[in-house]
Amino acid sequence: MFTGIVEEVGRVRAVAPVENGVRLSIGATRVLDGLQPGDSIAVDGVCQTVVSIDEGGFDVVAIGTTLSRTTLGEFQPGRPVNLERALAFGGRIGGHFVSGHVDGVGTVLSVEHHGEHRRIDIRMPEDVAEVTVLHGSITIDGVSMTVNALPDRDVVQIAVIPYTWEHTTLSRLAPGSRVNLEGDLLGRFVVHYLKRSAASGVEG
C-alpha cells in the first residue's frame, strides 16, 4: 500500500531482458534508506518487488503481465521515474490510499500553463473512467492527484502546483505521453459492489 506522495525521482540505469519479463535497474538515493530485498516499491505507480540493492540504487523484475498493462515495457536507460516506498503504518498519509496495481494506461491530451500551475488533460481507459469523480482522487505515474475537472466522460483534468511539477516526473509530460493510471481505491470497491448487486438482483 502506498500514498501517492513521491519521495524521489530516480532514473533508469539499465534494462535487461529476462525470461517472461525485464530486469530494471533504478538509480536512487533517498528511497534506499531502510530498503531491503523483498520490499515493495512503487515505480511510476507500479508496485514492484526489490530483488537486489547496491549503493547507487536497486533492481526489480517486471513480468510480462505488468509490461502489458503499464508503461514499464517502454522504459529505457536515462528515463526519470517517480519512486515511493511502501506505506509504514503509523505514518502520516498525505495523499490517498494507492495499491500500486495499475488499472490502465492513459494518454495525455494537453498540458497548459494557467498562472502558477499547469492543467493536464488525460484520456482514461473505461476501467479508470467509471471510478473517477469530480474532486475525487486519481493516481498518475504514482502521483496522488485530485480530479480538477471532467471535460468528457473519458477525460480527466488535473491541476499541478509548482512543487509537484518540480519534484515529480509530471513535468516531462506532453501531448501523446502515456501514463500509468490507478483509479480511486474506494470508488473501485463501490462500483464492483454495485455491479455484483445488479447482477444478482439485490437492491442497494
Of 37, 54, 85, the domain-final residue: 85
With cell 511539477, the residue in question is: 165
Give 25-75 pLDDT, tens digit per residue: 999 999 999 999 999 999 999 999 999 999 999 999 999 999 999 999 999
Q: What pLDDT score was predicted for residue 97?
A: 77
Grid cell, residue 120, equals 493536464
| pLDDT surpassing 80 at residue 90 | no
Give 123-143 pLDDT, tens digit per residue: 999 999 999 999 999 999 999
188 shares a domain with 109: yes
| pLDDT surpassing 70 at residue 93 | no
Domain assignment present for residue 38? The answer is yes
Give the separation between CA 187 and CA 183, rounded to whole angstroms.
8
Q: What pLDDT score was predicted for residue 22?
A: 98
Domain assignment present for residue 126? The answer is yes
More confident site: 193 or 23: 23
| pLDDT surpassing 70 at residue 95 | no
Domain assignment present for residue 47? The answer is yes
| pLDDT surpassing 90 at residue 194 | no
Q: What pLDDT score was predicted for residue 88?
A: 76
52 shares a domain with 118: no
| pLDDT surpassing 60 at residue 204 | no
Mean pLDDT calculated for residue range 10-17: 98
Domain assignment present for residue 204? The answer is no
Q: What does pLDDT average to over the chain?
A: 92
Domain assignment present for residue 168? The answer is yes
Give the separation between CA 120 and CA 174, rounded to whole angstroms.
9
Provide the Cα torsion 73, 9, 55, 70; round to 10°.
-20
More confident site: 96 or 93: 96
Q: What pTM, to 2 d.p., does this model score?
A: 0.90
Mean pLDDT calculated for residue range 157-164: 96
More confident site: 3 or 30: 30
77 shares a domain with 116: no
| pLDDT surpassing 80 at residue 192 | no
pLDDT band at 196 (very low <50, low <70, confident <90, very high): confident
Please report, for the domain that includes residue 179, its CATH number. Answer: 2.40.30.20
Of 51, 85, 119, the domain-final residue: 85
Q: What pLDDT score was predicted for residue 104?
A: 95
Contact at 8 Å (CB) between 26 and 83?
yes
Half-sphere exposure in the Cβ direction for 103 (13 Å, CA): 22
Q: Which domain holds residue 30?
A: 8-85
Domain assignment present for residue 73? The answer is yes
Domain assignment present for residue 159? The answer is yes
Domain assignment present for residue 181? The answer is yes
Contact at 8 Å (CB) between 44 and 82?
yes
189 shares a domain with 109: yes
| pLDDT surpassing 80 at residue 100 | yes
Give the separation between CA 49 and CA 169, rounded to whole angstroms.
21
Look at the chain and report how many structural domains it folds into.
Answer: 2
112 shares a domain with 186: yes
CA angle 139, 21, 145 (to 5 degrees): 5
113 shares a domain with 179: yes
CB neighbourhood size of 178 (10 A)? 15
Grid cell, residue 76, equals 529505457
